[in-house]
């Protein structure tokens, strides 16, 4: 089976930095995705990590440690539009399907 | 690139009717498409995986006779909810793999289904 854990809700202040953690336990791990989902909309792709380390893409960065089964998404210079759910998802190599965590609802306050 | 469309975007139907949802990859060929269902304030639950020209693989607990999937071409997959009931009301989202980043799934905008 698989288990993907991330906090249910987080709150942060506009202009600040927030880190959303994700831990996973799964067989056949091939990589980890982060998606952003605004209420009532479909998820949009943010990042995909296969190797250990930090990948930076503008205001968003994603980190992966395969040995620890751990990832985080780092959002800098927070904007009100960043209020959304952030989904951690694992790609299982055996079935080539993505399994989603329950998501973290991030609220940005002025 | 990697645009996925879904049609319709929302549908309201009476209990007992069947509803067909289309998922299209507009600018790439999708070797695999996925169908998800999402209830309010919950995460995406994978329903089935469909490969072009072959039968879909359903997740445990998903009735294949109720949720019919057809992946007739490399750019089109359809999900038919047969004899829909109020408990089938949900947000149905498709995704397609095969775009610029081969491992990444690109999501359609979703279809909101309300069964009365």
pLDDT (tens digit per residue) in B62-104: 999 999 999 888 899 999 999 999 999 999 999 998 766 677 7
Q: Render pLDDT for B102-116 as a digit per residue (tens, 0 to 9).
A: 777 889 999 999 999
Cα(A31)–Cα(A92) distance, rounded to whole angstroms?
7
Tell whether A103 is within 8 A of chain B (Cβ): yes
Is residue B45 classed exposed, middle or buried when 0-12, 13-18 and 19+ CB atoms within 10 A define those classes?
middle
Q: What is the pLDDT of residue B104?
A: 79
Alpha-carbon Rg for chain B in angstroms: 13
Instruction: For residue B9, report the phi and psi dihedrals to the nearest 5 degrees.
Output: -85, -30
How close, in Å, is residue A100 to chain B by CA atoms? 6
CB atoms under 10 Å from CB of B95, counted, come to: 26
Place of tokens 């329903």: B47
CB spacing of B49 vs A97 below 8 angstroms? yes
Tell whether A10 is within 8 A of chain B (Cβ): no
Residues of chain B with Cβ-Cβ distance to A45 below 8 Å are: 104-107
Q: How many CA atoms lie within 13 A of B29 on its CB side?
A: 5
Rounded to the nearest angstrom, the gap between the alpha carbon of residue B64 and the centroid of all alpha carbons in its chain is 13
């Amino acid at each position: 089976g698989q288990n993907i854990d991330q906090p249910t809700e987080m709150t942060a202040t506009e202009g600040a930095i927030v880190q959303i953690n994700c831990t996973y336990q799964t067989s056949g791990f091939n990589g980890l995705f982060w998606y952003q989902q605004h209420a009532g909309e479909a998820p949009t792709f943010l990042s995909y990590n296969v190797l250990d380390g930090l990948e930076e893409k503008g205001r968003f960065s994603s980190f992966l440690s395969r040995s620890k089964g751990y990832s985080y998404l780092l959002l800098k210079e927070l904007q009100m539009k960043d209020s959304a759910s952030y989904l951690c998802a694992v790609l299982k190599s055996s079935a080539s399907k993505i399994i989603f965590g329950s998501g973290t609802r991030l609220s940005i306050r002025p | 690139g990697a645009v996925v469309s879904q049609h319709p975007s929302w549908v309201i139907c009476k209990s007992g009717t069947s509803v067909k949802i289309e998922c299209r990859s507009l600018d790439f060929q999708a070797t695999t498409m996925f169908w998800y269902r999402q209830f309010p304030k919950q995460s995406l639950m994978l329903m089935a995986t469909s490969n072009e020209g072959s039968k879909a693989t359903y997740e445990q607990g998903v009735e294949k006779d109720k949720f019919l999937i057809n992946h007739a071409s490399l750019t089109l997959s359809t999900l038919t909810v047969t004899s829909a009931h109020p408990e089938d009301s949900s947000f149905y989202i498709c995704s397609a793999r095969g775009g610029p980043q081969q491992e990444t799934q690109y999501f359609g905008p979703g279809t909101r289904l309300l069964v009365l």
